[in-house]
Structure 1
């Protein structure tokens, strides 16, 4: 073969490699709102009530994980896990098989229900059968992958996982690898959980898509292929579009973009910790007085940013001050929540306008969208979507405080960037 032919082959190979890299480095897919009209079991108000219970259970569960104890039973509920999570469509296997997972920065393991289902929750989409995938492989017990994902071994020497969440929902099955397809990007040999024994999840999802920071997370394992970047844009409206992007599609810049560093716990690396210095309502500022239970690495953090939690949880004393100031600035009379859950509610007939609420992070002031800070929680009642921590000492920046923003995570720079955005346009 001539040197010119060899040079041509090298050039063509480089071009094909570049095209492939572009395909997997920039992908965007739509997210489904937990109260989407596509959910046949939706109720106009149940989702926000489920979100309240989800937030309480999740805070208690995170608290127990950080302290190494199990006190999550204090807030056990009958809620469904996606009471606060947006659902992401992706595909697994070769040929691609469409499935749905709750996009969750507070979870690291990606898993989906698999055939044969020993004990599975009902789901609307068909269940993935690994026998139909040419690229599916189980993980041997003696592999390095098994040691970081799980330590259970089956009689067939296949690595197993077993996870129980804070609301006692559960998944267990095989640790496996397969091709995951997101939009027009494909990722080969991705480690995930093939769940054969699962309970407590909503029928509109098939499992969880883990976006946390640990070594088993999709975004951490494939950080080189996606350049360590992902971003989401969430709409509070059930019938409006939301989306999530990876790689070059997830670069968040612009004059109105603000960034704050995130930290990771030394022993619990799933969560993204931000430093919340204060919150303000109008011209009144309320500093954070309590510290977090987290022992972080190179930076400090006191609040977890969590796409899987809908409400924002702040220190009780800060909440009381914020509530007191809001009642002064809002020209309407507060009413009690009939279910005794939300701390500040008004009649929807009052047509009130709330003052601007700003979360002041280290280096970034984020003005919360008016469409997220109050939500209709029942017929004729609208409630504040910020709640007190009830002395659990766990603070969470939930997704209703992130709506109408493009929120970008950069795992290399260790920053979270907020940019105001219309999520219906992408």
Structure 2
């Protein structure tokens, strides 16, 4: 009988097991080895939104982002819905270009602060989805090694090494997508071609039995940034990472910084707030949201509306992979009343077009006479001011919508990337702090 205390780790840590049947590359690989102590590193990586190069209308982009957010929310809350298999957040909103192997094989991957594993598709494929770049073949790389079951990265996760020295993984997602394969180490190259950094012995998943929806994002894998020894920031031992997200309509890349480059950033003038631990969801970055002001007045909501409950449900996590913040329906109902009173605008039902629940009709002469309110999110030790595009989107002429969505049931709230636009967000992993600084991300770096 598996103890209850182990169950959540099986659900939220990487499902890794060592079994027979993964020795396909045994004749072409080097001897397995573990990861050595890292040298200091600094990385600057360009990020782009998943739909940035697609020919969608603004309303289509909004609706697609809302739909991705719903699927992601279902995956993030799967543990509390009675799912009894390993399920992870999946999906994401930002893509990064990286290279794997020597010589390097370039591909495009989702950056995901809600997942820990780094993975890409590998040859020979038992089953692989279509991807825009060539599928990585470990036999063509001089720096590839399988990961033994004796490795701490295999031992730290769910493992069983009785019959084989190959560390297999089976990684499931809430939309029924899945990737399967084996764990290995490789040289990864980050940054632009004229300013790249190569890092040896990065642990990753070599996925050769895959199915699902990843191809719709135009990506070839995923890079986990979650709170886990398997994620990229922890493997590189950088201590910090930071991103600056440009406007959704911007043609400029967003920027990700890691390592010593984050030490050169300005002081987080909007303050810092602790990263809260939730033992039931140890991968995710939680924040303590204590209240919300709308137009200068606090919303009349319960003081524990965003608290983590004893069973691990509830709370607010910050997530790069969710576009629009997701708040409990009880909070959104109160917010709707506040917004209509402040603006004197009539509600209009645009949910079937956009998926956003709070939309209002602008005057026929446009928005010139309308003052849309700002908001303040009161986190522990800091107050974060939000305005303009961080809060409002215009899907059609004469209509304005709040860039947030409503969720029912389990109470998990998500602070999405729309509310992080034009803001330098620093994850201080050593001190478990999150810092915010208002920044013009289009021209800052």
TM-score (norm 1): 0.83
Whole-angstrom CA distance in 2 between matches of 1:338 and 1:279: 23
2:273 and 2:380 in contact (8 A); partners too: yes
Q: Which residue of 2 aligns with 1:124?
A: 132
- The 8 Å contact of residues 150 and 159 in structure 1, kept in 2 or not, is answered as no
Q: Tell me if the contact between 2:43 and 2:259 (Cα under 8 Å) persists in the aligned partners.
A: yes
Is 1:231 paired with 2:242? yes
Aligned equivalents of 1:379 and 1:151: distance in 2? 55
Query: Quick one: distance in 2 between partners of 1:338 and 1:260?
Result: 33
Deviation at 1:230, TM superposition (A): 0.2
Question: What corresponds to 2:226 in structure 1?
Answer: 212
Tell me, yes or no, if structure 1 residue 159 matches structure 2 residue 159: no
On the 8 A contact 1:124/1:203 being kept in 2, the answer is no
Q: Which moved more, 1:197-206 or 1:268-277?
A: 197-206
- SS of the residue aligned with 1:45? helix
Contact persistence 2:90–2:174 (CA under 8 A):
no
Structure 1 gap segments, 5+ residues each: 1-19, 73-79
TM value normalised by structure 2:
0.80
1: CA distance between counterparts of 2:106 and 2:159?
Answer: 29
Runs of 4+ in 1 over 6 A off after TM superposition: 152-156
> Secondary structure at 1:339's aligned position in 2?
helix
How much has 1:182 moved relative to structure 2? 1.5
Show the counterpart of 2:190: 182
Who is 2:7 aligned against? none
Instruction: Give the Cα–Cα distance (whole angstroms) in 1 for the partners of residues 402 and 133 of structure 2.
Output: 34
Does the Cα contact within 8 Å between 1:369 and 1:403 map onto a contact in 2? no
- CA deviation string 1:181-234 (max 9, x = no partner): 2112222111111111222112521121100001211112222xx2x1000111
Deviation per residue, 1:42-84 (Å, 9 max, x gap)? 454333212212222322322222x372299xxxxxxx965x5
Q: CA deviation at 1:180?
A: 1.4
Whether 1:414 aligns to 2:414 is: no
Aligned partners of 1:150 and 1:161 also within 8 Å: no
CA distance in 1, matches of 2:384, 2:181: 41
Out of 192, 204, 207, which is 1:192 matched to? 204
- 1:364-375 to structure 2, matched below 5 A, reads 364-375=382-393
SS at match of 2:156: helix
Task: Decide which of 397, 408, 413 is 1:395's aligned counterpart.
Answer: 413
Helix, strand or coil at the partner of 2:67:
helix
Question: What residue ranges of structure 2 are gaps of 5+ in the alignment?
Answer: 1-37
Are residues 376 and 118 of structure 1, via their aligned partners in 2, closer, same or farther at CA, if it must alter by over 3 Å? farther
SS state at 1:89 partner: strand
Q: Is the 8 A contact 1:121 1:203 kept in 2?
A: no
Structure 1 position 222 matched with structure 2 position 240: no
Query: Any conservation in 1 of the 2:315–2:411 contact (CA below 8 Å)?
Result: no
Within 5 A, what are the aligned runs for 1:284-323? 284-286=297-299, 287=301, 288-293=303-308, 302-323=315-336
Q: Does the CA-based 8 Å contact 1:60-1:71 persist in structure 2?
A: no
Check 1:379–1:124 CA distance in 2 against 1; reply closer, same or farther (3 A cut). Answer: farther
Residue 287 of structure 2 corresponds to 274
Does the residue aligned with 1:215 lie in a helix, a strand or coil?
A: coil
Deviation at 1:408, TM superposition (A): 0.3
Task: Kindly provide the CA deviation profile for residues 311-358 of structure 1, in whole angstroms up to 9, marking residues without a partner as x.
Answer: 111232222111211112225332101517321113577434421111
1:148 alignment counterpart? 156
Aligned: 1:108 with 2:119: no
Assess, with a 3 A threshold, how the Cα gap between structure 1 residues 293 and 366 changes in structure 2: closer, same or farther. closer
* Correspondent of 1:240 among 236, 240, 252: 252
